[in-house]
Amino acid sequence: MSINQARIALFEQDLHKSFAIEHLRIEDESHLHAGHAGAATGGGHFKLTIVAPEFKGLGLVARHRAIYAALNRHIPTEIHALTINATAPGESSSSV
């Protein structure tokens, strides 16, 4: 298991503590940022796709804040950059 795979497992645990997740996918995109100044700090670049009922009625910024709060202990050491697609059940990602 790579360091970022281990990190993803911890992120998943923390997200499950905060949300009743119906779908979760976390992708390691660190390889796309090799040579980037931020990559030198050791934190990874990740793409998060999550579907959870807690996002119903929340705007984009509130959804992102909720995810940042759930992952707070990992920022900025393990997470340097995070792309987020957060939706409630029944929403398409384009409706947010």
Sign of the Cα torsion 81, 63, 84, 51 reads positive
> What are the angstrom distances between the C-alpha of 41 and each of 19, 30, 48, 74?
29, 12, 20, 13
Q: What is the average per-residue pLDDT within 77-92?
A: 94
Q: What angle do CA 84, 85, 87 make, to 5 degrees?
A: 135
pTM value surpassing 0.85 = yes
pLDDT at 40: 58
Q: Which residues pair with 85 in a beta bridge?
A: 49
**Model confidence over 14-43: pLDDT tens digits?**
999 999 999 999 999 987 766 655 555 668
> What are the angstrom distances between the C-alpha of 8 and each of 3, 47, 65, 91, 94?
9, 10, 19, 25, 25
pLDDT at 30: 86
**Model confidence over 42-72: pLDDT tens digits?**
688 999 999 999 999 999 999 999 999 999 9
Instruction: Please provide the average confidence, as pLDDT, over all residues in the chain.
Output: 90
Q: What is the average per-residue pLDDT within 86-96?
A: 81
Q: Which structural domains are found in the chain, ordered by start?
A: 3-95 (3.30.300.90)
Nearest to 30 by CA among 8, 49, 50, 11: 8
